Amino acid sequence: METSTVVFFATIVAGFLILRWLISPIPDPLEEAAAAHATNRDGRRPNPSTHSRRPVTDSMIDVVQAIAPQLTRAQIRMDLERSGSVEVTIDRFMEEGTLPMPESQEGEQQAGNDEIQNEESGRRTNGGQSTGIKPANLIERYGLESKIDQDVSNAALNSATSQDKIDLLSSRREEMILNARKRLAAQLSNEIDANPLM
């Protein structure tokens, strides 16, 4: 073989290797962490010597809590202790919408949820609503059927007591609901007038 043929084939092989190296995907550390997380969910324990875990700091918890303020610090700490990574914890929150509760807080949260449900059922005005049947609309939910034809006026802005402020907010809520109902009725009648074939 001639020298030019050998150089030609060597150049082709070198070019192929360089192109393959340039085109190959760069391994993503988040994907590797997610793969490690997937093995954890399957029940297999990862080898602790392969993961170097950092201690969980308050700044790590603050970063996660800035993105997910509804999570408790205990939830975040537990997940960070498991994963060792803020990114993996945030990814898990984004995928699942929450993080698992620590066992010590699950009982406390269940008791708190029961109390909240009891308070809400006690505050409801209609007897039929305490059975768990959700009303079809806001008019029924807040018992505003009798006020649909009335004009709800604003109370004075400078209320002296907290009860007056609560009453003011309640009347404003009722006014907003009634105005929304009137706008919807007007919009529907305009659409029906515009499209008589429907």
Per residue in 46-91, pLDDT (tens digit) is 554 445 567 888 888 898 888 888 889 998 999 999 888 888 888 8
d(CA 97, CA 184): 33
CB atoms within 10 A of CB 115: 10
Q: Name, in order, each residue with C-beta under 8 angstroms of 33's C-beta and a sequence gap of 6 or more.
A: 83, 85, 87, 88, 91
pLDDT for 52: 57
CB 60 within 8 A of CB 86: yes
pLDDT of 124 > 50? The answer is no
Average pLDDT over residues 105-130: 50
pLDDT of 110 > 90? The answer is no
Which of the residue ranges 67-76, 94-103, 141-150, 187-196 has the most confident prediction, judged by mean pLDDT?
A: 67-76
User: For residue 131, how far is the Cα from the chain centroid?
Assistant: 28
Quick check: pTM over 0.75? no
pLDDT confidence bin for 164, thresholds 50/70/90: confident
pLDDT of 14 > 90? The answer is yes
pLDDT confidence bin for 12, thresholds 50/70/90: very high
- Of 5 and 123, the structure prediction assigns the larger pLDDT to 5
Alpha helices of 24-157 — where are they, by DSSP H?
Answer: 29-41, 58-67, 73-83, 86-96, 103-123, 138-141
For the chain, give the mean pLDDT. 74
Count Cβ neighbours within 10 Å for each residue of 156-181 and write b for 16 or more, e otherwise: eeeeeeeeeeeebeeeeebbebbeee
